[in-house]
Chain A
Amino acid sequence: MSREQATGGEAPQAPALTIDALGKKCPIPIIWLAQQINNVPLNAVVAVLADDPAAYTDVPAWCRLKSHSHVGTYELPEGGWAIHVRRNY
């Protein structure tokens, strides 16, 4: 399975906040995302940088459970992903 889910070819919206969770195991990236998403304005994007394989599934699942939007997941050249989340409320 491809580990990339890009959105329709467009360049991603620049994140208002980047959370560097590289080297951290789940649930830490999710905990940091939950703690910090309210630090960005509505409709702004938070990028979670993570390389724990669980984050690849769990960040989008968190978005679904918390009614935020999973914008896309982009592979990082050094390994891991930038997982973009839009604050909806």
Chain B
Amino acid sequence: MVYFDAASTEPLHPRAREAFLTTLEEGWADPARLYGSARRARLLLDRAREQVAEALGARPDEVSFTTSGTQAVHLGVLGAVRGRRRAGPRLVVSAVEHSSVLHAAEVHEGDGGEVETVGVSRTGVVDAEAFARAVTAPGTAAACLQTANHEVGTLQPVAEIGAVCREAGVPLVVDAAQTMGRMPIPEGWSVLAGSAHKWGGPAGVGVLVVRKGTRFRSPLPMDEREARVPGFQNVPAIAAAAAALQASMAEAEEQARLSALVDRIRETVPRVVPDVEVVGEPVARAPHIVTFSCLYVAGEALLTELDKAGFAVSSGSSCTASTLRPSHVLEAMGVLTHGNIRVSLPRGTREADVDRFLGALPGIVRRIREEAGVSS
């Protein structure tokens, strides 16, 4: 099986495995206690926090570990709006944010808040002028913007929006799940969220970073342990996440190699498959993601046939995953939602496997179209 679904989860980095096994031996005790084994666990946790802080351009005391990227986003969004309750009820989000952001926004609305959603271009870039207008409108508590879109890879103008937010005194919550470990973190965030299993760390570790000076009130009850996140920390998994983050940040040339393979897919697919639309920004994009939609083809049929041919990819079409609705990202962009395939390349993707995929795709699409009675 050729695995092309890194945007869902990246296979475990070898450095994460090493760190996990070592820390299972040495860091199992309760880091909040004061005997030798507990102090060792505390030391390993502190070291992981320093590694993550350094990789993200933050201070260690700004970094908290959550139990997932989704939890980091939920706490980040809700903590930011609750910390600014006196500023007003408004939360600004882009229309293509990850569902975790939109679900947190729904909770904010349910609590009496207001949510303003800013639209995107055909390639999925948020309308920066409209976003700036929304941020500077009176009563705005916080804004949320992703670094890169999880379905189409398009980069968002985070630094530009961050400057507007700083000027307006509005905290910007940045969901960096798709780029953390792959690209430098852009300037301009007040709250930053990420997910370890997307950069080659283990599942069950998210990162929430809250800049010093940001008003923040967690919606959760607190304890004496992790700042902003209650509960006993999973020190081995956190150490593994930190090791993988540090290792992948040092592998910029690997990301450049993946990006060149994405370019090859972007250029080749429209040449070898008729009636296909490659979506998202061609250049200003995450290095590992490419998405295209094939006219007259059901996304589910395409996934099934690609799986039979040995390729693991995902789709934003309805009737795939668990939803009967098409992807809100593709809808907001106004691009074809059916016949959609997202290819996202993990570290170490072999060029030959990309070429094999490009070789197999045209026949698969042609067969599905023929079965549906479409002559292309």
Q: Which residues of A contact B (CB under 8 A)?
A: 1, 25-28, 30-31, 34-35, 52-54, 56-58, 60-62, 64-65
Contact = CB atoms under 8 A, between A and B. Distances in A.
Interface stretch (B54-62, B67-75, B129-137, B325-333): B325-333
B173 interface: no
- Classify the secondary structure of B's interface with A: loop
A27 B372 contact: yes
B116 interface: no
Nearest to B375: A35
B298 interface: yes
Contacts of B295: 27, 30, 34, 62, 65
Interface residues of B, number: 24
Interface in B313-365: 317-319, 324-326, 330-331, 334-339
Contact of B337 (A31, A34, A57, A64): A57
B373 A31 contact: yes
Nearest to B336: A61
A20 to B, nearest CB: 18
Given A25-B319, A27-B372, A34-B296, A58 B338 contact: yes
B277 interface: yes
A62 B374 contact: no
Interface of B: 117, 275, 277, 295-298, 317-319, 324-326, 330-331, 334-339, 372-374
A57 B326 contact: yes
A31 B331 CA distance: 19
B334 A60 contact: yes
Nearest to B319: A25
A54 B374 contact: no
A1 to B, nearest CB: 8
Nearest to A61: B336
Given A30-B338, A54-B337, A25 B330 contact: no
Contacts of B372: 27-28, 31
